[in-house]
């Protein structure tokens, strides 16, 4: 008979699965992350995992969605505190996202992982360019001293180039990645300011 969890316990287990899952992805990569090891570390039966996530890919989707929400929250905090976004705010946010943030699951996914996710996740779970554009337009309303006209498509492309750089780090010179990301951030910011 399956175990019945309270709503609080369900949330606690889901959070543990996400936390341990992210740790395993950071350490071993998505391909080597096993449901067996994940559930063992969380202390639940392997089959119980599927009461929380339909697949390993849906766990990654939940991690990505949670991370995106945390970025939105950070932006909202800045906007609430200052009523606008400045160049340095965005510089720090993007540098953290692409170079330091250990919660950004995308930093630890390979090209192959992303390809697999795109084929295995339901289409409504895939983050489309249109979604990026809507989010960027929302955030641009708060950019102080924004360049007019601002080329939103170019800004989005700079962000996508940063994503591609991180996803392809295995074919790049590792010592130069930080320098390149920082320069890409400045190029993106030059489109905005």
SS (H, E, C) 7-38: HHHHHHHHHHHHHHHHHHHHHHCCCCCCHHHH
* Total tally of structural domains belonging to the chain: 2
Q: Give the integer Cα–Cα distance in Å for 20 and 6.
A: 21
Q: Which of 53, 71, 94 is the last residue of a domain?
A: 53
Tens-place pLDDT, residues 65-95:
899 899 989 999 999 999 999 999 999 999 9
Are residues 71 and 147 part of one domain?
Answer: yes
Residues facing 161 on adjacent strands = none
Are residues 83 and 2 part of one domain?
Answer: no
Are residues 108 and 185 part of one domain?
Answer: yes
Are residues 45 and 4 part of one domain?
Answer: yes
Tell me which residue range forms the domain holding 112: 57-192
Residue 1: band (very low, low, confident or very high) from pLDDT cuts 50, 70, 90: low
Q: Give the integer Cα–Cα distance in Å for 88 and 53.
A: 38
Are residues 98 and 161 part of one domain?
Answer: yes
Are residues 71 and 48 part of one domain?
Answer: no
Domain at 36, CATH number: 1.10.10.60
Instruction: Report, as an integer, the average pLDDT of 112-124.
Output: 86
Are residues 15 and 74 part of one domain?
Answer: no
Are residues 61 and 20 part of one domain?
Answer: no
Are residues 156 and 71 part of one domain?
Answer: yes
Are residues 138 and 168 part of one domain?
Answer: yes
Tens-place pLDDT, residues 10-20:
999 999 999 99
Q: Give the integer Cα–Cα distance in Å for 172 and 156.
A: 22
Are residues 61 and 44 part of one domain?
Answer: no
């Amino acid at each position: 008979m399956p175990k019945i969890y309270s709503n609080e316990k369900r949330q606690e287990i889901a959070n543990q699965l996400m936390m341990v899952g992210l740790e395993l992805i950071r350490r071993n990569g998505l391909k080597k992350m096993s449901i067996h090891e994940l559930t063992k570390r969380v202390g639940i039966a392997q089959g119980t995992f599927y009461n929380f996530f339909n697949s390993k890919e849906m766990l990654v989707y939940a991690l990505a969605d949670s991370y995106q929400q945390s970025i939105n929250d950070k932006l909202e905090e800045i906007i609430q505190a200052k009523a606008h976004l400045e160049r340095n705010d965005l510089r720090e946010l993007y540098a953290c996202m692409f170079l330091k943030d250990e919660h950004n699951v995308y930093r630890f996914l390979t090209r192959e992982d992303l390809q697999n996710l795109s084929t295995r996740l339901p289409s409504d779970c895939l983050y489309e360019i249109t979604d990026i554009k809507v989010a960027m337009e929302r955030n641009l309303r708060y950019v102080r001293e924004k360049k007019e006209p601002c080329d939103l498509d170019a800004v989005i492309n700079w962000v996508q180039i940063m994503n591609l750089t991180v996803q392809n780090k295995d074919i790049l010179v590792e010592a130069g990645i930080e320098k390149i990301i920082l320069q890409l951030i400045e190029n993106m910011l030059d489109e905005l300011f």
